[in-house]
Structure 1
Amino acid sequence: MINAATHYRLDYPDLSLILALVRGGSLARAAALLKVDVSTVFRAVRRLEAALGQQLFDKSRAGYLPTGLARTLAEQAECAEQALDAAQVGVEQGGAVVSGTVRLTCTDSVLQGLLLPALAQFMPRYPALALELSTSNDFANLSRRDADLALRLTRTPPEHLVGRQLRAVSYRVCASPSYRQSVGATDLAGLTWIAPDDFLPDHATVAWRRQALPGVVPGYRCNSMLAVSELVKAGLGVAVLPDFLLDDTTALQPLSDPLPGCDTALWLLTRADCRALRAVVTLFDELSQRLRAPQ
């Protein structure tokens, strides 16, 4: 048995068989995925296990349960499948395919308000490009090489990073239409406030509120700006939010003009060594185009 496993060379049809059975969990579903009959799958699995000298699946009433080896081979089969898909895209696009994995970090509010709509516009054109997203407020993600690109709200990006300022961002006091109607008040100090004080204690908007409304104690404290905006949308109070979260849905309405001293900018940043990577450059250019403020 050991000799058989040593000398047998797996090929792509073997990997496709394993992947179909792992995905399907039964002979019938695997046969449907492979577009063959059930007996063909059954015989192929038996032949492969005999050739490898190892069991790939445990047969039970629940179906075919993959062993550790089968799961490992299925993961490698998925990589091979993705590589073939990328090659096919390259053929269809005349060899101009953009492939690879790009790691991008941004805040949760930027993800929700700006990044997701932009990705929906252009990512379908890059089927071989994989994107890993993380939400964070930390520039160190780029410095530690945990990310390739960062979308950050800042007035002064770190000098060791390279990038482009995409748009100015202002902050306003906001409320939901229902809350605004229910309170009918113009005195901001008398409203229920929602704030990220403990999460972003040095944020300019927190400093503004403490200076302009020193007697206000927030009724809700959240650990993210996105959570703050969701509580405002739910009609639980008011908060200072970036202008890009205000849209045509009227879920949020401004109660003030842009607040003095709270303006900032959206920057798209990367490391100098990433500028030679085609996937990073492609994503950088697409985001630069999509996220620029309307002229």
Structure 2
Amino acid sequence: MPLDWDAFRFVKTVATQGGLTAAAAQLGINHSTAFRRLTALETKLGARLFERLRTGYVPTPCGQAMVEAANRIEADVTRFERRAVGRSETPSGELRVTAPTSLALELLMPILADFATRYPEIRIELILAEAALNLSRRDADVAIRASRDPSETLVGRRLAAVAWAIYGRADREYRDLASEAWVSPDPTVAGGTFARFAGAQAPADRVRLRINTVTGLEAAVAAGIGIGPLPCFSADANPALRRLSGPHPELGVDLWVLTHPDLRHAARVRVFMDHIAEAILPLRPRFEGLPVAGLQEQR
């Protein structure tokens, strides 16, 4: 009897997780079931797939060949799914969208609410993440992403420039910013651009907190832990904060809406990207750190 896809997926999971216990948890089975499956598979093949070491399960050459085959199968299946979705002609079905948490909390929800009213047959799964998800693997179908250089493997459009400036609490006076305590994004945010900027502005012993989300960074500045760089579209609207500098060009990024080329003609992808672009257009001054009617009155 030939091997099925589940056998390859099982071996890949054991290799990725480094052992049966973690692999079983990942697959939703118990340890004894995973042990029996691996034993039966090795018996069927007449070859060991893993070396059982104290540090974990390490694939043998045969096991590594199965892992590589699993990767190829997974890539082929994902490619087929993208192309199948790309041929859809009606705006319906599930749409996986990824966006930064700060953008979703500040601006995106009303835009999505309007979209849901216009296209009730489309069901959105929203994935909030500061890191860039892999659209080629269909971790998401559409990404709303702040980037200076989006991947050449993706297609989409630039929506706006995103300005960043230094902010502090609105109820405090600041004279010498370098002598103040700072908070900083950690190096995982935007490839470390903002962490490097904060490090250049203040010595390491003045950085009181590092955090891996922009939303958390804004909360830390508002709490008075320290001053720090924040996106103007969010921080300017927060009455607990005030700008301590103009926008810093070296921190500027662009906001993009992106998808994989295989998906760009899919009806639900196309109408979503058009909707986002239309909704963001009047918000460009806010993203670019320019005065926006209504915000000044709130301050």
Whether the aligned pair in 1 keeps the contact of 2:179 and 2:206 (CA below 8 Å) is: no
1:254 matched to 2:243? The reply is yes
Matched, 1:144 2:137: yes
Q: 1:279 to 1:154 in 2, by over 3 A?
A: same
Task: Say if 2:168 and 2:224, in contact at 8 Å, map to a contact too.
Answer: yes
Q: Percent identity?
A: 34
Residues 198, 264 of structure 1: CA spacing in aligned structure 2 closer, same or farther, 3 A cutoff?
closer
Instruction: Kindly report which structure 2 residues correspond to 1:55-134, keeping only aligned pairs within 5 A, or say none.
Output: 98-134=91-127
Q: How far apart in 1 are the matches of 2:134 and 2:190?
A: 20
Question: TM-score normalised to the size of structure 2?
Answer: 0.60
Tell whether the 8 Å contact from 2:162 to 2:232 is kept in structure 1 after alignment.
yes
What's 1:223 paired with?
Answer: 212
Q: Return the TM-score normalized by structure 1.
A: 0.60
Contact 1:189/1:216 (CA < 8 Å) preserved in 2? Answer: no
Q: Which runs of 5+ in 2 are unaligned?
A: 1-88, 286-299
C-alpha change, 1:260 and 1:276, in structure 2 (3 Å) is closer
The reply on whether 1:263 has 2:252 as its aligned counterpart is: yes
| AA at the equivalent of 1:223 | N
Deviation at 1:283, TM superposition (A): 0.9
**CA shift in 2, pair 1:97/1:233, >3 Å:** farther
Superposition pairs for residues 14-25 of structure 1, below 5 Å? none
Q: Deviations over 1:85-111 (max 9, x none)?
A: xxxxxxxxxxx9842111001221222
Q: CA deviation at 1:137?
A: 3.7
SS in 2 for 1:203: helix
Unaligned runs of 5+ in 1: 1-95
Q: Distance in 2 between matches of 1:234 and 1:174?
A: 12
Shift of 1:275: 1.8
Deviations 1:47-92 (A, max 9, x none): xxxxxxxxxxxxxxxxxxxxxxxxxxxxxxxxxxxxxxxxxxxxxx
Displacement after TM superposition at 1:215 (Å): 5.1
2:201 aligned with 1:212, yes or no? yes
3-state SS of paired residue (1:285) = helix
How far, CA to CA, are the matches of 1:251 and 1:232 in structure 2?
Answer: 9
Q: What letter matches 2:159 in structure 1?
A: L
CA distance in 1, matches of 2:264, 2:126: 19
Once residues 134 and 215 of structure 1 are traced to their aligned partners in structure 2, the CA distance between those partners, rounded to angstroms, is 33
Are residues 222 and 104 of structure 1, via their aligned partners in 2, closer, same or farther at CA, if it must alter by over 3 Å? same
In the alignment, the residues of structure 2 paired with residue 114 and residue 185 of structure 1 have an alpha-carbon distance, to the nearest angstrom, of 29
Task: Name the count of aligned residue pairs.
Answer: 196
TM-superposed deviation, 1:172: 0.4
2:224 to 228, 235, 254: 235
| Distance in 2 (alpha carbons) for counterparts of 1:201 and 1:160 | 19
Cα distance in 2 for partners of 1:218, 1:118 equals: 36
Residues 189, 215 of structure 1: 8 Å contact kept: no
In the alignment, does 2:271 pair up with 1:282? yes
User: Residue type matched to 1:190 in 2?
Assistant: S
CA distance in 2, matches of 1:202, 1:249: 26
Residues 6-35 of structure 1: per-residue CA shift (max 9 Å, x gap): xxxxxxxxxxxxxxxxxxxxxxxxxxxxxx
Q: Secondary structure at the match of 1:150?
A: strand
Worse-superposed segment, 226-235 or 270-279: 226-235
